[in-house]
Amino acid sequence: MTVVTTSRKPVPEVRSLSRDLAFSIGAEYVTRGKAGMGDLFSLDEPVLIVSKSGPFFLVQVFAGGEPVTEIRVRSFSVEERPGAIARGLFVSDRSVYEALEDHVDVAFAGETLSGHRIVFDGTQRKRYTLKVVP
């Protein structure tokens, strides 16, 4: 099972983004606390680490302890989800889709999403739209 966690001292918006991302892809959310990278990689599962770095949010993906990709997110918005929940990530950027497809539940939605975006449904009727830096 994929694991989603945060940087060591996350701001509240990073924590809620991480929890809802884990929910959406059917992953386990792990509170980071004082756990080091070695502790996370010892789980022998894909690991997503969400953090904030300057003006960007980062989603780093690791598999087998090795970095797979880093997705830079310029900003994200949260709105109320209309209708039924959709599981997984919906990605409009082909390179992001290809980097994620072997590690998380992801679908290419380039035909229906404009720009470089990732959309997913979280808990409590939330829908997230992440604006990815190309």
- Range list of β-strands (E), the chain: 3-6, 28-29, 47-53, 56-63, 66-80, 89-91, 106-108, 117-121, 126-132
pLDDT of residue 43: 72
Q: What is this structure's pTM?
A: 0.93
**What amino acid occupies position 30?**
V
The C-alpha atoms of residue 66 and residue 39 are separated, in whole angstroms, by 14
pLDDT of residue 104: 95
Take residue 88 and report the two structure tokens written for it.
């997984």
The domain locations on the chain are: 3-132
Take residue 14 and report the two structure tokens written for it.
């990073």
CATH hierarchy code of domain 3-132: 3.40.50.10480
Q: How confident is the model at residue 111 (pLDDT cuts 50, 70, 90)?
A: confident
- Hey, how many other C-beta atoms are within 10 angstroms of the C-beta on 46? 20
The C-alpha atoms of residue 92 and residue 114 are separated, in whole angstroms, by 7
pLDDT(22) > 80: yes
Segment 43-102, tens digit of pLDDT? 778 999 999 999 999 999 999 889 999 999 999 999 999 999 999 999 999 999 999 999
